[in-house]
Structure 1
Amino acid sequence: MKNTLKISLKANEKIYINGAVVRVDRKTTVELLNETQFLLESHVMQPEQAATPLRQLYFILQIMLMNPGNADQARDMFRQSLPLLLESFRNEHILSSLKHIDRLVGEGHVYDALKTIRGLYSLEDEILCGGRMAPAYQDELREIA
């Protein structure tokens, strides 16, 4: 099958599939036979970890996968946050990635959007440490913190 995806899980590891939390009691392999929204436990971000703009965006999208009942509210938060991020970052790679993330979310590929965001963390960390982010967003981060 074209959409088949095999995921190996350790004993007591969780996977979030279409909003359901599944925990396995022993090492196992799960084969997803059709397209589905899922998130591995190792990729779940805790609220206190959402301390940077991209990590906050990740957390918002994560809610869409883990809690489909609140997906509309999370989608609204995403739509409010994205323009702020596009105005704040000056790095072309991050800007083009944010536009790509917007397309992915619009097409329902939230997992792929999360994967793209995770790939930007090191670049975001460099920017935040180097002070190359727009001052307006830095002020907003101080207000959130």
Structure 2
Amino acid sequence: MTLRISLRDGEPVIINGALLRARGRTDFTLENQCTVLRGRDIMMPDQATSPARELYYCCQMAYVEPEFRQDHQKRLLEVLKIIFDQASGPGVVQPAVAMAQKVAQGDFYAALADCRQLMAAEDTLPEASEAA
């Protein structure tokens, strides 16, 4: 399967763990299987400021650093426990369960979408984001 990617000037992309940055508008195609994370989906460590954001970061790192996946998964499970302990309502529980199922299947990229739902739910609960 071929994947076409277009990047704006300065936009980052992670390909197989390497962080690249576009110089000028850049288009390329990926012709084989690899891990890819575009700039808008990349979270830097200093942005993991709440349980849901830390979960996203751990999931992202498990996806892009398979050689350290066990370490990232261990932290991911610790943070997931925190989220379940603080869970209130289907806006948190459902995406957390879906995310955990995808992680268990090794589908870290798809799990990131559930993490984004958790971050959105967390943003509506001031007490949850203050617990980080």
TM-score scaled by structure 1?
0.75
Question: More deviation in 42-51 or 25-34?
Answer: 25-34
TM-score of the pair, normalised by structure 2: 0.82
Question: Whole-Å Cα distance in 1 between the matches of residues 59 and 32 of structure 2?
Answer: 21
* SS of alignment partner, residue 116 of structure 1: helix
The answer for unaligned runs of 5 or more in structure 1 is: none
> 53, 63, 85: which is aligned to 2:83?
85
Offset of residue 83 of structure 1:
2.3
Q: Secondary structure at the match of 1:26?
A: coil
**Does the residue aligned with 1:120 lie in a helix, a strand or coil?**
helix
1:100 corresponds to: 98
Root-mean-square deviation over aligned CA pairs: 2.2
Asked whether the 8 Å contact 2:48–2:54 carries over to 1, the reply is yes
Identity over aligned pairs, percent: 27
Partners of 1:62 and 1:29 in 2: CA distance: 23
From the superposition, tell whether residues 6 and 96 of structure 1 become closer, same or farther in structure 2 (CA, over 3 Å).
Answer: same
Residue number in structure 1 paired with 2:19: 21
| Structure number with larger C-alpha Rg | 1
Residue type of the alignment partner of 2:14:
Y
CA distance in 2, matches of 1:119, 1:99: 12
Matched, 1:9 2:7: yes
Aligned positions of 1:50-65 closer than 5 A: 50-65=48-63
Alpha-carbon offset, residue 61 of structure 1? 1.3
Pick aligned residue for 2:107 from 106, 109, 128: 109
User: Equivalent residue of 1:83, what SS?
Assistant: helix
For 1:46 and 1:21, how far apart are their aligned partners in 2? 11
Query: Aligned to 1:15, what secondary structure does the other structure show?
Result: strand
Give the CA deviation at 1:34: 4.3
CA distance in 1, matches of 2:119, 2:13: 22
Q: Which residue of 1 aligns with 2:121?
A: 123
Hey, what does 1:76 align to over in structure 2? 74
CA distance in 2, matches of 1:51, 1:23: 24
> Any idea what the Cα deviations from partners look like across 1:68-95, whole Å, max 9, x if unmatched?
3322100111122222211211121211
Partner of 2:45: 47
Contact residue 53 and residue 85 of structure 1 kept, 8 A: yes
| Preserved CA contact (<8 Å) 1:12 1:25 | yes
